[in-house]
Amino acid sequence: MKKQERVETILRRLQEQYPQTPVPLDHSDPFTLLIAVLLSAQCTDKKVNEVTPALFAAGPDPAAMARLEESEILTHIRQLGLAKTKAKNVKRLAELLLERHGGAVPDSFEALEALPGVGHKTASVVMSQAFGVPAFPVDTHIHRLAQRWGLSSGESVEQTERDLKRLFPKEAWNRLHLQIIFWGREFCTARGCDGRHCSMCRELYPNRRKPVIWRKP
C-alpha cells in the first residue's frame, strides 16, 4: 500500500470509528482549557479531570485564579506530576493574561507560547479546540502511531508534526489529531501493539514481519 493510500485509509477508518471527537480534558471556556492542557504535561487526562473541578471552582477565570495564593493552587493539584512548577505557572499565567491581554486568552501561537508553562503543543491544542484554527498538536500517541503507520520517521516531535501536516488536508487536522489519540489509547497502545497487531496496522502493513521500534519523543 502506497503512502497516499495509507493516508486515505487512515482518514476513512478513523472517521468511521470516531465520528465525534470530544476534547478529553474537561473545560468550559478557553481559559479552563488552557489551564487543563498545561496541567496535563506528564499526567493522564483522567487524573487532570479529577483535580480541575475544585481548582476551577476556586479560580474560574484569570482574575479569580490570579487572586489565589500559589500554595492554594498547589493544594488542588498536588497529586499531579510537577505540581509545584505547575502551580507557579498557573498563577503567573493568570496574572499575565490580566496584564497583557485584558483577562482574555489570546488567539495567537506567539502570544500563547509567551505564557509560562505553555509550549507549542499546548498552544496548538488551545488554538485548534478553543478557536478552531487548524493545528496538529503531537503527543506521544500521535508520535508513536505516525511511525507505526509509516507516516513519519519520528526523528522529532517537530518532524512528526511537519510530516502529518504535509500528508493530511488542513480541514481534517483538528479532528484527526484527536482521532489518532483515541485510536492509540484504545487499540494501538504502546505495549499492546508493535505495528503488527491492531487492525489498522494489519491493514496498512499486512506483510509486516518485524515489530516497529518507535522513537520516543
Residues acting as catalytic residues = 121, 139
* Residue 161, H or E segment: helix 157-167
Give the CB-side neighbour count of residue 191, counting CA atoms within 13 A. 0
At what angle are helices 45-58 and 70-77 packed, to 10 degrees?
A: 140
Q: Cell triple for residue 70?
A: 500559589
Q: Cell triple for residue 54?
A: 475544585
Sign of CA dihedral 4, 9, 12, 15: negative
153, 159 in Cβ contact below 8 A?
yes
Radius of gyration of the chain (CA): 19
Cα separation of 122 and 35, whole Å? 9
